[in-house]
Each structure stands twice: as structure tokens, then as C-alpha cells.
Structure 1
Amino acid sequence: MHITAAGRTDVGVIRSGNEDSYLMVPDRGIFVVADGMGGHAAGEVASEMAVRYVARELDSLRGLGDEQVAERMRVAIRTANGAIFQRTLTEHDKRGMGTTVTALTLFETRFLIGQVGDSRAYLLRDNRLSQLTKDHSYVQEQVDAGYLTPEQARTHPYSNVITRCVGANSEVMPDIYVGTVKPRDVFL
């Protein structure tokens, strides 16, 4: 499998600081994106910790099957969660920090995504763009329950309120998505 990768973050027009982090290890098929939160540079710390911990835990996946890779991904994200949560307990200025995490690993002819929060993963295949992950957000829960339509969710005032993140609690449960990689697939 040939992998070409590129990455970039942008502060945007609303915020004064960038709390995003990403890490790519293309030769090992590891890609991690995190969007931190927490103010006073805490979000930046949380997102940087998350990408580092997750990438380290996913370092060697050769010869593992889907279930083993899925368990490794869960452990990776939980390890990052534990480290970030512990730091919020010991450093007063880091209280309230957390981050989203979306991690993609490519192995054999498969892909696996571990996700917490609302940083989405997409797949562009055969000129069709598909959202692979589901947001852990208030509005997504309202859509799932039938209280909001997807159209209403797009403009809802609480559209940026997430219901799950890495570092906010002592435990976190990442969602796992698995699929087959095809030639010319593009992951975003």
C-alpha cells in the first residue's frame, strides 16, 4: 500500500490561539488529529499529549487482526485520557482541559478509526465523500433521538457542545470504525 500524507492546522478567524495538534507516521500507517479545549494553553497541551500518547501506543500493529487493532486503539485513547485527566488533577491551570481525538491506522488492506468528540473522519472514494465517524455532541444526540433534523442541527446554537472528550473524566469510551482500504482512497 502506497501512502501519501499531508497535514496542516489553522487558527481560523474567531480564536486567537490554535489548540489543534496532529501527528502522522505514514510508514506505519498512523494518523492522529486532536482539537484541544480549556484556555490558558491547556487545550494545546491536551491535544499535544493526546496525539503523542495515541501514536506511541499504536506503534507496532503488524500481524494483528481487526479485534486486536481495535483493542490497541481503545487502550491508546484510554491511556491518553488517563494521562490528561491526571494532569488536570495535579496542575490547577490545566483544570478543565480536554481534547477531541480522531486516530486512523492503516494495516494490511484495512483501516481502523478510534474517535472521541466531534473531529470527523471522512473517506473520499470513487468521487463520493462519506462521513465515517459520528459526532459526540449535544445536537447529534438530539438528531439521533428525533428531536432535531440534520438541517436544524447545522445551525443550532449548541452545535459546538460536545458530550464526550479525552481528559475530562477518569474514563472514556472511544468509538471504533473498521473498513477495507481500496486503491486511491483518500481519508480526511
Structure 2
Amino acid sequence: MSRVELFARTEIGCVRERNEDSFVVANITTGERGLRPGTTIQQLDESVGLIGVCDGMGGAAAGDIASKIASETLYDQLMMATALHEVSSVQEALLSAVVGANRAIADYAHTHPGKRGMGTTMTGALTYGHEVHIVHVGDSRAYLRRGRTLHQLTTDHSIVGQMVATGQLTPEEARSYEHRNVLLQALGVQAVIQPEIVVAPVCAGDVLLMCSDGLTGPLDDDGILEIMLRFDDPVRCCRALTEAACANGGPDNVTVAVARFLGEGLPIADERDPVQPRRSSHTLQ
């Protein structure tokens, strides 16, 4: 029987005074949440699993509160969703969660004037059958490792991300670009948002990685892939990735979530075939 093994880890890093990242790991079918046996190992044909990473921003304006609101709203909204029997209902539930989180953060900031300016990224994924369905706002990322190749599934909603997407910068040039941390989208700071939905089929042995930019700042994709190839187990992989980011200076909070897909019933990957996710953008308010 096919299954997914999940884990997540967050570290404050070496520079920040507090951790403004948050993550969520849950079994939406049973409602169980947290790093427990019922969530860290799930049968794909029986459960819909959730993993999410949120990177708060705002410093004194409470980025930690914004990311916590986002991760909790993501879980709560999906738990309230109608039965997730079709792809369309899965995507509708993910988009509703983004709208709910955006409003909840904005409402909190409105009633706490000292917190105005708080916001967060959100990258959340549902394991649904033999696919992952991702909703994404900001510059946290989702990757899929297939064999010895790492594929970035999401697009950075940042100035530098757009410049890479349009060919104005290479990924290597983007790492040292002056305005690389300027976001074009975040939850809680804009009435209108344009989340990205990404759907990717998974094969036996595939590994989904979701992370805040506290990982992708200190480590390039090759460095991330090298660690993922050394550590198959999600627990050890999460630990190794966060520790590597801290060893490289740890300039930001770092959060990673890993999902490994295993077992009979999943298609066998041919590494020569590229990962071909389906992407769509949605304008919501």
C-alpha cells in the first residue's frame, strides 16, 4: 500500500532574536495535528495529508503572530471544507484557506494598531491520492526531488523571483541581488492576492520539500539536493537541512517540511521524464 512519511522542523537561526516562522503537519481525514504517528505516516489511499510552511514578516509588527495565524487558519479552513472527493474541491479548499488567512491577519492588525504591517508567506500542500496540491503566496518554496534531480515547483513572488522568471537574472545572480528579499505578495498586507496553485503527480521515491527562505538563502539548490540525497528519512533530512543552514551563518529563521512517497501502487519514476506540474494563478480578495 502506498504511503507518505512526513516531518517538519524549525530553528531560530544564528542572528534573529525570535522565530517568526511556523509550520503545520496534519491528517485532514482524522483531524490529528502535530508530529505524531497518525500524521507522520499516512496511507495515501485513506488519508489527505497537510503540510505547510509560513514565514512571518514585520519584526516588531509581529511576523510571528502572522505566520501562526496563517498556519492555524490553513488547518482550520481545510478541516471545515466539504468532503475532498474531487480535484476541484481540493483546490477550492486551498484557495479558501488563503483568503481566510489573509483576512484573519488583516483583521488582527486592524484591531491591534501596533501590529500594522504584519504579514506572512504561505506555502501549503495537500497529499491527495497520487498527487500533491500546493497553494503558494510569497517566497517560501516547494521542491520535488525525483531521483538525483531537484525541481522547484513554486515561483517566488518577489522582485528577484520575477526577474529570474523573465530571464533578466540567472538563479545564481539572484542569490546576491540587492533587492532579493522584497516581496510582491504576502498575506495580511494586501486586500487582493494572487495565489499560485501547483499540482504535481508523485512517483515512488519522490520527496517533497517545503521551506522558508531561511534555507534557500544560505544554501543553493545543489547544496540542498546533496543533503537530501544523503538522508532519505524525513526526520534526519529535516534536521540535516536546518543544521546546514545554521552552519552557513543562519541569517534567518529556517523551517523545512519533508514528505517522502513510498509503497506499491505509486508509479515508478523514469528520471529521464521531467516533472511537469500544472500551474494556475488566481486573483482573490
Give your verdict on TM over 0.5: yes
Question: Mind listing any 5+ residue stretches in structure 2 that lack a counterpart?
Answer: 27-38, 43-47, 210-285
> 2:84–2:90: 8 Å Cα contact kept in structure 1?
no
Instruction: State the aligned residue count.
Output: 188
- Please tell me the residue identity of whatever aligns with 1:44: D
Greater Rg by CA: 2
Higher RCO structure (Cα 8 Å, ≥6 apart) = 2
Residue 142 of structure 1 corresponds to which residue in structure 2? 163
Alignment check: 8 A CA contact 2:143 2:153 kept: yes
What TM-score, normalized by structure 2, do the two folds share? Answer: 0.62
In 2, are the aligned partners of 1:78 and 1:171 still within 8 Å (CA)? no
Query: Are the counterparts in 2 of residues 20 and 47 from structure 1 also a CA contact under 8 Å?
Result: yes
Counterpart check, 1:36 vs 2:56: yes
Gaps of 5+ in 1: none
CA shift digits 1:106-140 (9 cap, x unpaired): 01111100000000011111222111111001111
* Contact 1:113 1:176 survives alignment (8 Å): yes
User: In angstroms, what is the RMSD of aligned CA positions?
Assistant: 1.6
For the residue of structure 2 that corresponds to 1:14, the secondary structure is: coil
Which of 102, 105, 114 is equivalent to 1:84?
105
1:40-59 residue CA offsets vs partner (Å, 9 max, x unmatched): 36111000010010112223
Q: 2:61–2:116: 8 Å Cα contact kept in structure 1?
A: no
| Seq. identity, % | 39
1:73 partner SS:
helix
**Equivalence for 1:54:** 74
Match of 1:132 in 2: 153
- Which stretches of structure 1, 4 residues or more, deviate above 4 A after TM superposition? 60-63
- 1:61 deviation in Å? 6.8
- Which amino acid is 2:11 matched to? D
**TM-score normalised by the chain length of structure 1:** 0.93
Alignment partners' CA distance in 2, 1:61 and 1:183: 29
For the residue of structure 2 that corresponds to 1:155, the secondary structure is coil
